[in-house]
DNA sequence: CACTCTCCCTGAAAGC
DNA sequence: TGCTTTCAGGGAGAGT
């Protein structure tokens, strides 16, 4: 389940391995629909070269030298894998890009919550997918002033607010739970009840945890792997996520879980107030 | 407008 | 052991 650190890890690996390579051919391997149908005009990227990889929210942007950008979202179960020319297509492989060195970039997504989209560079700022997205938590715009201004008018639970992509992008369930724990804030508190100090602490902890996870190659739950089939390590650093019934590392009380807007929140009722 | 709920989908794991 | 049920959750769209 890739969140921002996992997507960032993949982007960094792709930057090292596929930039400056030419796409000889793109092949659709299934006719199944992802979140949206795979675009019919994908072959427009044949013979283009990859100039840059970037990320917006959890979207991976593959910049091409023909004024196109290939946008990939991994949803819940999507993977990008780099394989050699002996690779045999597997179940749930949806698209392959064949590069000039004969390597294959495979998009595999069992649950098909992911998305593949082709955009012109000039339209990238205006595309529907990005229009309601909030700020990037690892960029300078994420300040105490911004966070204060947004949260003071929000009645919803703080957990839901920090997972709300209109406010900040990329913070999914794992990192929301972990940053609230580290900040000693209950996930059920209404956003507008937080003090300035708590907001500042939470902001710093969100940034710290995301960066720490990126440094560890992301979190591997179920079968998340990076493009070369390696697991991340940050799951070994969880304080609360998935630890319900187990002892809190700080106070030894039992970690509990609750449902908020259909998502499971993990927290320590003793440490988080 | 603000917010919640439901659905999409498959595979792993828990329950019976 | 084997079948059934539950759960995971990002995002879209419907509903309150």
Per-residue model confidence (pLDDT) at position A225: 62
Please indicate whether residue A5 is annotated as part of the active site.
no
Q: Which residues pair with A53 in a beta bridge?
A: A62
Q: Mention every residue, 6+ apart, whose C-beta is less than 8 A from residue A247.
A: A253, A254, A255
Per-residue model confidence (pLDDT) at position A172: 86
Instruction: Say how far A75 CA is from B7 C1', in Å.
Output: 15
Q: Decide if pLDDT at A196 tops 80.
A: yes
Per-residue model confidence (pLDDT) at position A145: 94
Q: Any idea which nucleotide's C1' is nearest the CA of A166? A: C11
Which of A25-29, A121-125, A157-161, A199-203 shows the lowest per-residue confidence on average (mean pLDDT)?
Answer: A121-125
Q: Is the CB of A92 under 7 A from strand B?
A: yes
Strand A59-64 to A68-73 pairing = antiparallel
Please indicate whether residue A211 is annotated as part of the active site.
no
Which residue's CA shows the smallest distance to C1' of B13?
A222
3-class secondary structure, A73: strand
Q: Is the CB of A157 under 7 A from strand B?
A: yes
8 A C-beta contact, residue A100 and residue A21: yes
Count Cα neighbours of A83 within 13 Å in the Cβ-side half-sphere: 19
Instruction: Say how far A88 CA is from B5 C1', in Å.
Output: 41
Q: d(Cα A232, Cα A235) in Å, to the nearest integer?
A: 8
Average confidence score pLDDT of chain A: 90
- Phi and psi, residue A248, nearest 5°: -65, 135
For A66-122, write each residue's pLDDT tens digit: 999 999 999 888 999 999 999 998 888 999 999 999 999 999 998 888 999 999 988
8 A C-beta contact, residue A253 and residue A268: yes
Give residue A182's pLDDT band: very low, low, confident or very high (50, 70, 90): very high
List A2, A5, A137, A187, catalytic entry = A2
Which of A18-22, A123-127, A202-206 shows the lowest per-residue confidence on average (mean pLDDT)?
Answer: A123-127
């Amino acid at each position: 389940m890739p969140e921002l650190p996992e997507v960032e890890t993949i982007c960094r690996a792709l930057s090292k391995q596929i930039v400056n390579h030419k796409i000889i051919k793109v092949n659709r391997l299934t006719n199944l629909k992802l979140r949206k149908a795979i675009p019919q005009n994908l072959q427009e990227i044949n013979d283009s070269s990859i100039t840059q990889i970037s990320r917006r929210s959890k979207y991976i942007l593959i910049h091409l030298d023909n004024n196109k950008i290939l946008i990939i979202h991994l949803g819940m179960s999507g993977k990008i894998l780099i394989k050699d020319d002996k690779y045999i297509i597997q179940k749930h492989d949806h698209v392959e890009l064949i590069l000039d060195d004969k390597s294959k970039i495979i998009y595999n997504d069992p649950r098909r919550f992911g998305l593949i989209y082709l955009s012109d560079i000039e339209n990238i700022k205006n595309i529907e997918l990005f229009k309601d997205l909030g700020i990037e938590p690892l960029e300078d715009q994420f300040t105490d002033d911004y966070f204060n201004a947004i949260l003071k008018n929000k009645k919803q639970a703080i957990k839901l607010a920090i997972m709300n992509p209109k406010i900040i992008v990329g913070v999914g369930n794992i990192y929301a739970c972990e940053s609230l724990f580290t900040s000693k804030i209950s996930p059920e508190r209404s956003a507008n009840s937080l003090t300035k100090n708590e907001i500042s602490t939470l902001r710093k902890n969100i940034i710290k945890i995301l960066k720490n996870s990126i440094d560890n190659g992301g979190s591997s739950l179920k079968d998340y792997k990076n493009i070369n089939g390696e697991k991340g390590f940050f799951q070994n650093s969880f304080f609360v996520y998935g630890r319900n019934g187990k002892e809190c590392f700080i106070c030894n009380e039992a970690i509990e879980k609750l449902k908020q807007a259909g998502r499971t929140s993990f927290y320590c009722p003793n440490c988080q107030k």
